[in-house]
Amino acid sequence: MERLINKEKLGVFEETAQLKKVIMWGRPSTEAVLAQLLPKEISCFEFDFIVPTARIEFVNAKHLLETQGVEVVCVKDLLAQMITAKGIKPRVNLETLKSELKEKGYEYSEKYKGKEISSREVLEWIDPILTEDIKEYGENNAIIINDMLSLQSKNGLPLANVIYARDQSNLLGNVWVWSSMEHDIRKDEVRLYKDILSWSGIVNSQVIEIQVTEDARFEGGDGIVHNGICYIGVGGRTNLRGVSQVAPAILAQGLRVVAVYDGKRTRKEEPEMDAMHLDTFWMPCGENKVVVCGDESKRRRFIELTMDNNNLKISRNGMFSDHLKTVGMELIPLTKYEQLHYAPNFVNINNKTVDLSLSDKNGLIEELGSAGIKVESANLVEITKAYGGLHCMTAAIKRG
């Protein structure tokens, strides 16, 4: 099997333009099972969740997008193809893998037994999940993929958040930004995605690639392009150094670059998980129209980055909430409660249709419906317990 040679022109110049193509990961597997036995500060999960149900939710979410005319590329499928094409052999056989996965689970359970973690009963999910993965990818590929994600990371942690396919990179205009991630459990994800997408040909010469490096931080959920402006959240996951590394290439496309700056979370004075990325509290939903949590927008500053004689200039221009008024943005307000229940973490199919992460615990179905927007829901009850919704799961690579 030869790798795909892809010269398709990709780009995301407007968050509410017609969604044509996205990347998603695939169904969560044994890596997510093992992470149920890690403390939340390590796993980055919000709550324990039922992994077999989350696997069904992923399939349903993918199907929802496809019925709306969106091409969905599953990176996990590409990984299986790459393994086959390269003739990679598994490190262990199936029975040994099962044994090692369960041993790792017991190890976590014993090490963190004083913490708030799941019971060892979650390890009963391993065998049926592997059976399903074998049916989907073949035995060799299923063994290699689960071994790679669950047992073989550089820091010894399962890549349990790999399902959130927006965070490892983000296509802003036609600049493909590769992330530099904050938490240890997530750091290996970037190289994994980069290797697979580069091999497949999806990332090609039609885009400009930038790798955020060193002490700079950038995560894909913090970047959103709307009305000619590339907004980048700065807080617990992305820092101003990261924005400075990507700004020149984005500005060269004719977009403005605005950092939405949260000082307290940047300085680690407050936890960042409840509003870790821009797409967890602010989301465009039409021309000059955004859904926003006022409690979160009012605490953030508006910082614009521009080029001045080939030098990057950073201007601190007041508060983000004032900027939204200045540009004439119509605001659909969210309470903090609604924001915490993933109301803004939706996917725009176009400027007339959106897919919510959850259908309850927010008033968006009624409010957006009143604004003439058709609203669907992926009903990600289990997946959102891992601290991410549908927008986190989908990285748009072609709009318009």
Tens of pLDDT, residues 133-144: 999 999 999 999
3-state secondary structure of 208: strand
Residue 60 is assigned to a structural domain of this protein: no
Q: Is 155 domain-assigned?
A: no
Q: Let me know whether 122 and 246 are in one domain.
A: no
pLDDT for 5: 52
Is residue 84 assigned to a domain? yes
Q: Which residues of the chain have pLDDT under 70?
A: 1-6
Q: Which amino acid is at 107?
A: E
For residue 203, what are the domain limits? Answer: 169-399
Pair (106, 228) in one structural domain: no
pLDDT score of 360: 83
d(CA 97, CA 94): 5
User: What pLDDT was estimated at residue 362?
Assistant: 82
Considering the domain architecture, whether residues 359 and 226 belong to the same structural domain is answered as yes
- Together in a domain, 286 and 351: yes
pLDDT at residue 318 in the model = 94
Quick one: 233 and 274 in the same domain?
Answer: yes
304 and 244 in a common domain: yes
Angle between helices 51-67 and 126-137 (to 10 degrees): 30
How many C-beta atoms lie closer than 10 Å to residue 114's C-beta?
7
> Domain for residue 7, yes or no?
no
pTM: 0.95
Q: Looking at the structure, do residues 89 and 216 belong to the same domain, yes or no?
A: no
Residues 370, 340, single domain; the answer is yes
User: Phi, psi at residue 140, to the nearest 5°?
Assistant: -60, -50
CA distance 274 to 172: 24
DSSP-derived letter for residue 122 is G
- The answer as to whether 11 is a domain residue is no
User: How confident is the model over 362-373, as pLDDT tens digits?
Assistant: 889 998 988 899
pLDDT at residue 2, as a whole number:
46
Which pLDDT does position 315 carry in this prediction?
96
> 163 with 391: CB under 8 angstroms?
no
Residue 18 lies in a domain: no
Confidence at residue 129, expressed as pLDDT on a 0 to 100 scale: 98
Domain count of the chain? 2
Identify whether residues 331 and 225 lie together within a single domain.
yes
| Tokens (6 digits) for 48 | 């324990």
What pairs with residue 374 in β-bridges? 353
Are 101 and 241 contained in the same domain?
Answer: no
Are 347 and 383 within one domain? yes
Closest C-alpha to 278, from 330, 235, 332, 227 = 235
What is the CATH number for 225? 3.75.10.10
Whether 348 and 209 share a structural domain: yes
* Residue 303 to residues 2, 15, 42, 215, 309, Cα–Cα distance (Å): 46, 20, 31, 20, 19
Examine residue 82 and state whether it is found in any structural domain, yes or no: yes
In a domain, 218, yes or no: yes
